[in-house]
Every structure is written in structure tokens, then in C-alpha cells.
Amino acid sequence: MGIALYGLVTGLIILLVFVAMVSIVYRSLRNGISPMPSSRAVRRAVAAEINSLNRVRTIVEAGSGWGTLAFSITRQGRKVRRDIEPKIIGLENSMVPLLFSQLMSVMLAEEMVTFVRRDIYRFSYRDADVVVCYLFPRAMQSLSMIFQEQLSIGTRIISICFALPGWVPEKVIVCEDIYHTRIYVYSASIVG
């Protein structure tokens, strides 16, 4: 009986891992990119940039993946913010990273971080004070037009690795990681 139960549990675990892997590969092929966590240096630089801004109430992370960046922004913000703690909305359409980040949010009791299953091209960014992206060039091209239509003047866009076509960055931060990752910071009032 014990050996049969062990075999059944082992088989179920293998099946779940296989289904999770297939799900990630399928969604990665559909999205054009896989969920890739950002480096610690990048997370710190993005959090520092957000913490330097005033009156940030809503941060939207377009393509939140495993949630590591959103959690880092929250942790770093608590160390320096004296005003309000911003709400972070992580948008993800790949189920496995989404479920992982939602589970971590519950386990870490992060009330100000919410992960939702959404298409980044159909989401309304109108209420965002900051939009954070770690995507790929084709996605940035599509989002460029969406941001021009939806963002209020003064809304910041922070893009990791890839520039936002048609926009002039306020600044470019070069991280001290192995890749010297560039972080592009834009304001909705500065459109090329």
C-alpha cells in the first residue's frame, strides 16, 4: 500500500511538473519571451528610481513574470518611503509564473502587491503613476502607441533593457551587473 501511494504521488508530481513546463514553453512561444527574473542590481536600480519619485500611488508592472521585481520594489520602498506605500499591480498572462507570484504574495503577506492575469496590450494604464517593463523590442513598439494614448502627463515609464520607440528618455541608468543593463526612464510629457 505504501509503495503504491508513493508511486502515485511521484507520478502526480512528475505530471504536474511536465504540465507546468509545457505551459511555460507554450506561453513563452506565444508571448515571444519567457518569464525572466531581473538581476539584483537591476531590481535595486528600478526600486531606487521609483523611490526618488514623489506621490507614487499606483505602479503597474507590464509582464510581472515570477514577481521578483514587484516584491523588491515593495521591500526597498518600505525602507525609504515616509508618505504612502504605493499599490503595485503585476500583469502576467503565463499561468505558472502568475500562480507562483500570487502564492508568494500571500505567503509574504504583501497586501499592496496584486498579480492579475491580463494581456498587457489590452490593460488600461490610465491610472498608473509608474509603468515598469522588462519585455522585448516588439512589445515595446506596441506599448509605445498604447502609452501615448493612455498615460497622463508626468507618468513615468521604466523600461529594463529595451528603449521605448518614439520616446526620448529622461535618463538612462547603467547597472553595475555583468551585462551593464540599461534602464530607460521616460516621462509621458516627453514624447519624441
Q: Cα separation of 70 and 172, whole Å?
A: 20
- Supply the pLDDT for residue 111: 87
Between 5 and 163, residue with greater pLDDT: 163
Q: Cα separation of 132 and 61, whole Å?
A: 5
* Domain extents in the chain: 1-31, 40-187
Q: Cα separation of 127 and 22, whole Å?
A: 35
- Supply the pLDDT for residue 31: 60
- Supply the pLDDT for residue 27: 61
Distances (CA, A) of 146 to 14, 31, 34, 61, 89: 41, 17, 22, 15, 17
Q: Which range (33-37, 97-101, 161-165) has the least confidence?
A: 33-37
Strands 182-187 and 171-174: antiparallel
- Supply the pLDDT for residue 68: 94
Task: Tell me which amino acid residue 102 is.
Answer: Q
Nearest of 29, 96, 36 to residue 68 by alpha carbon: 36
All three cell numbers of 97, joined, read 509564473
Of the pLDDT bands very low, low, confident and very high (cuts 50, 70, 90), residue 86 is: confident
What average pLDDT does range 75-101 have in this prediction?
A: 85
Nearest of 83, 74, 120 to residue 98 by alpha carbon: 120
pTM above 0.95, yes or no: no
Task: Tell me which amino acid residue 153 is.
Answer: I
Superfamily designation of domain 40-187: Vaccinia Virus protein VP39 (3.40.50.150)
Task: Tell me which amino acid residue 192 is.
Answer: G
